[in-house]
Structure 1
Amino acid sequence: MKLSIAYLNDVHGYLEPHPEVFFEAEKREIKTAGGYSRIYSLINNIRKQNPNTLAFDGGDTFHGTLPVVKSKGEAIIPVLNKIGFNAMVGHWDFAYGPDQLLNLNRQLNYPVLGINVYASEGQLFLKPYIIVEVEKIKIAVIGICSNIIDKTMPERFSEGLIITEGTEELPKYIEEVKSKGADLVFLLSHNGYPQDIKMLSGIKGIDVCLSAHTHNRLFEPTMVNDTILIQCGCHGSFLGHLQLEISEKRIQSHQYELIPVTESVESDKEMDEMIAVIMKPYQDLQAEIVGQTGVLLDRYNTLNSSMDDLLLIAIMDATSADLAFSNGWRYGVPIPPGPVSKWDLFNMIPMNPPVSVLELTGQEIFNMLEENLERTFSADPMKQMGGYVKRCLGLTAYIRIENPKGHRIQDIYIGKERLKPDEIYKSAFVTQQGVPANLGANQIDLPFTVVEALTHFLQKNSPYNPDKSLVFSLI
């Protein structure tokens, strides 16, 4: 029997086609990619070629663009149900609180899975697994949600929940599903690529791992012992197609393709109409041009990013702060050189929080950055608990990534002066992922939002061509 698996992860609510960066040797080429209508067409084509097809969503589905954020995930439900996935897991999908995730789960025609998410009373919050039968082959799909939901995300994500990494639970559930007759066991995991490799290197019994969270574009599967692991980029720009040749209730061989969801893929008319209705209230934002950029704005660098440089320059300009900080978000599609719309700005930060300022000591800044570097580059993948490195403006840090926890920073300069532990630095920031709530003093939430600050800055400074001397550097 040949089994086909269609898989995507970390779409972050991008309903329509959008600009995407494709790596072409030393160049970065911008192409239009993604969109659920094209994704639906690709999955339908796979189903037509092989009726024995399963489809899975790795999560980060209900958050990332304005339509899903404003509707708390509900706007995208009809689209997902039309595609007809078999199961999903999540991370940012918890953004509107546990009760809303359960509400979204009830509206889906497939389950959100999670063996590692518990209510405070100790019972499982989500269904742990499903077992599907394809031509008399029983396939169990076990789900793991992101282990950082109750550790680094805002408190509302996990109110009343306890989330583990899933390592202790997974062997028990492998045994349970096999006791129920499962011939093959799949893991649908939002822990991340390094985390899944570590987990699978010590746990046997998983045939296929559908990985998410870290936005890796895997053009070939990673083999971890006998487990086939795939991950498919982000923003719906790629769809994974894994074909398994199964006989004697075992995988005998596999083929894999990471399919770019580009303009060569024909869209589905009915899905186009459905998405047009969802997007209609946002057409004015897409048409409203607020400025120009002379450079590509994206978030594809681990240490810093051109998109977040603009965000930080804008909030520093609006506050006259010494420094600026934001989270190292991975989501947010690129903005090519040329016009920048209000819609683009909301894609950068769809929550659109107020700009905040507070006073940080030099020692607090040092400790905050050391903690963030450990969460990004920990030698133990299970302790890697973030996106990219925290975005900063106004400082230069000389670091050694390979050094152990607490010893990565060799020196920090604020402007042209070495950081002083007892000095007070006025700092602008956005969200508690930019500066944790337990740091600093005299915090003030200003009466304007990040999108307003970005709009004002671009209206004054277009075309935007950044002065590289202003940009935070890690050396």
Structure 2
Amino acid sequence: MSMNRREFMQLLAVASASGFALDSKQALAGNIPSNFYELPKFGNVSVMHFTDCHAQLLPIYFREPNVNIGVGASVGKPPHLVGENLLKHYGFKPNTPESHAFTYLNFEQASKTYGKVGGFAHLASLVKNIRAQRPGALLLDGGDTWQGSATSLWTNGQDMVDACKLLGVNVMTGHWEFTFGADRVKHIVDNDFKGNLDFVAQNIKTNDFGDQVFKPYVMKHMNGVPVAIIGQAFPYTPIANPRYLVPDWSFGIQDDNMQKVVDEARSKGAQVVIVLSHNGMDVDLKMASRVTGIDAIMGGHTHDGIPAPSIIKNAKGQTLVTNAGSNGKFLGVLDFDVRGGKVQGYKYKLLPVFSNLIEPDKAMESLIKKVRAPYEAKLNEKLAITEDTLYRRGNFNGTFDQLILDAMMEVKGADLAFSPGFRWGTSLLAGDTITMERLMDQTAITYPTSTLNEMTGENVKAIMEDVCDNLFNPDPYYQQGGDMVRVGGLQYTCNPNQKIGSRISNMMLNGKPLSPTKTYLVAGWAPVGEVKGEPIWDVVATYLRDKKVIKPRKLNLPKLVGMDKNPGIA
């Protein structure tokens, strides 16, 4: 669709009246439809949902994965579709706003066409616009909100706490929030959030007596309809992140307890039950098949931008499962038509937040400026220029991860290196400056220690097998972490369909087989044990300052076996 100038000026007038400003050059170049942010009102209960923003207050670039492999029953089903396979499944055309939002396709050119995504000031305008059409609409925050940026780390999460309050978040659950420590989280929930934001998590209890640490759910009312929002925090927090940060709390999936909480909410009059989850989408899909009485699970953790809900049948009906991407890039809007005490129909839209097309909210813009002011010089330090796109997301490796691996191996003098399979981290285009802020986007955690350890080849294989099982165990309830550990210096073969112990083979270092008994120097970072040492950002910054220009990285990817025609691989 193309617009002539008259049509475009009419659109601009309408957009401005509703709090939006479409930039003419961007809109026309990007072929943005005139009704892109038009969302006709439906029903009488509305919830908005964002998740995994990872503390990104300003617009950024973010490349979607070209590898998101499903195994077992998950093969070929959302979220395990990438590129053309995803477009085909949802009926999107190539070279459209949707293609750029939901896939990695033509990433460099599309990024130049459509500009950056996300930004809390732009998200705030979108939220206000939808609330104007749907008075009383709830805003849900799926967690991984306070971690992922330099300013969040340096302010102990306070920048994001203040931003979320201003954004008008009603209900929240968590995961990376807990890496600030139990005391800090409780202080924020009991003080900053008191009276205006509910933090819910039915699955977090004390280790000693099994008492609820946070409210399991909260009941809200919209247009006279009671709506229960149940919290499901990331179940494997003490495994994926340091246990010493939350020493007195237990987590877990807890389907039986979830069923009790759903039943209790229903018994107290809830006509709509929504689970605000940080399980990861595969876990949500399984939970939806086992727990009855949930109308929708609005999920996060796995960063999957899924355009339409998956409808999952269970013993007493069906549950919608949604997942709203990451980095502030999307806002999910779920509308229910509730009559006679029951949900009669629904509509769902996952809106990409194209920052060039949305006028930023002035109050949020002012808060962000104030938060960043003390740190601007540090954030803007120029470390190097990249000649290639730098990104993280993908099951096995990304170019920014490869850069971190290369830096560790060179600076620390290691034979090989491990970098965690974190999903968070923004992207850079070829020719961009790698500033300290962009480096911190990849490394800003409360346990950033870089390490250098002696390991036998047998130890190395055991670690890789364990992480691989976290990703490719056919039972989603045993998938306990992020993507596959990124490996530097080591070539290997991976068969995701095998069992633990048999997925990793043909491990080669410098053209020679890795010896099970020989000892190697292995660099790493983000240890879950209490370890002191140089933070990873200092290691990588040293490397970048020395190189000044970062040449294109050759990705160290495994040879995959048994993955022919898997639609989760480009």
Whether the TM-score (by the shorter chain) exceeds 0.5 is yes
- CA gap of 1:194–1:467, structure 2 versus 1, over 3 A, is closer
Q: In structure 2, the residue corresponding to 1:301 is in which secondary structure? A: coil
Aligned to 1:460: 546
Could you list the per-position Cα deviations for residues 375-423 of structure 1 after superposition, in whole angstroms to 9, with x for gaps in the alignment?
Answer: 1111110110111100110111111101112211132112211111100
The CA deviation at 1:89 is 0.6
Find 1:306's aligned residue among 390, 395, 399.
Answer: 399
Structure scoring higher RCO (CA < 8 A, sep ≥ 6) equals 2
Residue matched to 1:406: 501
Cα deviations across residues 101-143 of structure 1 (Å, max 9, x unaligned)?
A: 1111121121211111011221011100011122221111111
SS of 1:297's equivalent in the other structure is coil
Q: Tell me how far apart the structure 2 counterparts of residues 310 and 300 of structure 1 sit (CA, whole Å).
A: 14
- Note if 1:322 corresponds to 2:410: no
Q: Secondary structure at the match of 1:20?
A: coil
Q: Deviations over 1:173-222 (max 9, x none)?
A: 11111111111111111111000100111111000111111100011111
Q: Does 1:27 align with 2:101?
A: no
Aligned partner of 2:135 in structure 1 is 51
1:472 CA drift (Å)? 4.7
Letter in structure 1 aligned against 2:368:
I
2:284 alignment partner, one of 181, 191, 196: 196
Mapped partners of 1:100, 1:431: distance in 2: 20
Alignment correspondent of 2:377: 284
Residue 426 of structure 1 corresponds to 521
Q: Hey, what does 2:54 align to over in structure 1?
A: 12
Q: Over residues 13-49 of structure 1, what are the superposed CA-to-partner deviations in whole Å (9 max), with x where a residue is unaligned?
A: 1111112233567422323111111111111111100
Identity rate, percent: 28
TM-score normalised per structure 1: 0.94
Aligned to 1:441: none
323-332 vs 456-465, which deviates more? 456-465
Match of 1:86 among 170, 179, 198: 170
Greater mean deviation of Cα atoms: 39-48 or 1-10: 1-10
> Is the deviation greater in 60-69 or in 350-359?
350-359
Does the CA-based 8 Å contact 1:4-1:46 persist in structure 2?
A: no
Give the match for residue 38 of structure 2: none
Question: Distance between the aligned counterparts of 1:236 and 1:145, measured in 2?
Answer: 19
The TM-score normalised by the length of structure 2 is 0.79
CA deviation after TM superposition for structure 1 residue 52, in Å:
3.6
Secondary structure of the equivalent of 1:244? strand
Give the paired residue count.
465
**Which structure 2 segments of 5+ residues have no match?**
1-42, 64-99, 561-570
- Kindly indicate whether the alpha-carbon contact (under 8 Å) linking 1:144 and 1:166 is maintained by their aligned counterparts in 2: no
Give the 4+ runs in structure 1 shifted more than 4 A.
none
Residue pair 2:62, 2:391 contacting (<8 A) in 1 also: no
Partner of 1:114: 201
SS at match of 1:104: helix
User: 1:65 matched to which residue of 2?
Assistant: 149
The worse-fitting range, judged by mean Cα deviation, of 124-133 and 242-251 is 242-251
For residue 63 of structure 1, report the CA deviation from its aligned partner.
1.0
How far apart, CA to CA, are the structure 2 residues paired with 1:116 and 1:286? 37
Contact 2:199/2:215 (8 A) holds in 1: yes
**2:558 aligns to what?**
473
| Deviates most, 449-458 or 326-335 | 449-458
Counterpart-to-counterpart distance in 1, 2:103 and 2:312: 28
Q: Deviations over 1:336-358 (max 9, x none)?
A: 22211111111110138343211
Alpha-carbon distance, 1:445 to partner: 6.0
1:55-105 deviations in whole A, cap 9, x for unaligned? 100001111111111222122222211222221110001011111111111
The gaps in structure 1 that reach 5 residues or longer are: 438-443
Structure with greater proportional helix content: 2
1:124 paired to 2:212? yes
Match of 2:321 among 229, 233, 239: 229
Q: Which has the higher mean CA deviation after the structures are superposed, 292-301 or 71-80?
A: 71-80
Amino acid at match of 2:386: T
Aligned to 2:3: none
Q: Which residue of 2 aligns with 1:174?
A: 262
Cα displacement (A) at 1:455:
2.2
The CA distance in 2 between the partners of 1:134 and 1:404, in whole Å, is 48
Q: In the alignment, is the contact (CA less than 8 A) between 2:409 and 2:416 conserved in 1?
A: yes
1:360 aligns with 2:455: yes
